[in-house]
Amino acid sequence: MSEVKKTVIVMPVANEEETMEKVVDMIMQLPYEGLYYYPVIDDYSKDGTERILRGKAQNDPRIKVIYHKESKGVISCYLEGYRHALNDGADRIIEMDGGMSHDPAQLHQFIEKLDEGYDCVWGSRFIKGGGISDLPLYRRILSSGGTILSNLVLGTKLKDMTSGYEAFQRHVLERLDLDKIMSTGHMYQTEVRFYCRKLNCIEVPIHYAGSSSGLNAGNVFEALDLLFKLKKHEKEVWKDDPQAI
């Protein structure tokens, strides 16, 4: 009988009391052994989200609520969740957004591809079977245009470089120096996908439901500036050769 692998879902959450209970229940009812849920919350959340999560965690030891006191935003919450998952012996880690932006019913795709041995599994809105709803036209243009530009500048060949639904085998995140990730906002997924481009990766179709998170001109200029720094920074992020599996 094969060993049960510990799979940890890392999800930054804030002000999501309307959907939080549904999200938790959908995840924890999935028929997978070794599945754990690590929601990461910080002081930005002012409603009953944390109360709901603490209540769920009292009744299910697979749920670990992480309060990130030194949070600098959603990306720092992702990274803090990764650190806790690695410290707790996770064999693989799945990143997803809360608020039903990412559908827990699609988690099976990521788990199946990890089981097949892929190092990284990227959720894609722009391949067959993927899609977007409730997102303003300008955000759709920025997402698709950002992918095209990133592929041109970085030499990547993915259909979606900016989706936050993704999964990693343990060894990938162990060998990345998480403290040296440069992105603090919308370029984070692009940065990580660039670093991991030489690994065994695959895209799976996802449906993204629009969230209320904003994107302004400052975010766009910051992303463009960072895009042209990634190639130079790459050697500082990997602790060893990214292809030395």
Ordered DSSP codes for the chain: -PPPPPEEEEEE--S-HHHHHHHHHHHHTSS-TTEEEEEEE-TT--SSHHHHHHHHHHH-TTB--EE-TT--SHHHHHHHHHHHHHHTT-SEEEE--TTTTB-GGGHHHHHHHHHTT-SEEEEESSSTT-EEES--HHHHHHHHHHHHHHHHHH----S-SS-S-EEEEHHHHHHB-GGG---SSTTHHHHHHHHTTTS-EEEEE-EEE--S----HHHHHHHHHHHTTHHHHHHHHBSS-TT--
101-105, 140-144, 214-218, range with the lowest pLDDT = 214-218
104-108, 182-186, 203-207, range with the lowest pLDDT = 182-186
Q: Give all domains of the chain, ordered by start, each with its CATH number.
A: 7-237 (3.90.550.10)
Q: Check pLDDT > 80 for residue 89.
A: yes
What mean pLDDT, rounded, does the chain reach? 91
Average pLDDT over residues 82-96: 98
Q: What is the percentage of the chain residues whose pLDDT exceeds 90? A: 78
The pLDDT value recorded for residue 13 is 97
Q: Which residues contact 152 (CB under 8 A, 6 or more apart)?
A: none
Q: Calculate the alpha carbon distances from 64 to 13, 14, 53, 57 in Å.
A: 13, 16, 9, 6
Residue range 6-51, pLDDT digits in tens: 999 999 999 999 999 999 999 999 999 999 999 999 999 999 999 9
Q: Check pLDDT > 70 for residue 72.
A: yes
The pLDDT value recorded for residue 233 is 93
Residue 214's φ and ψ, nearest 5 degrees, are -90, 165
Average pLDDT over residues 49-70: 97
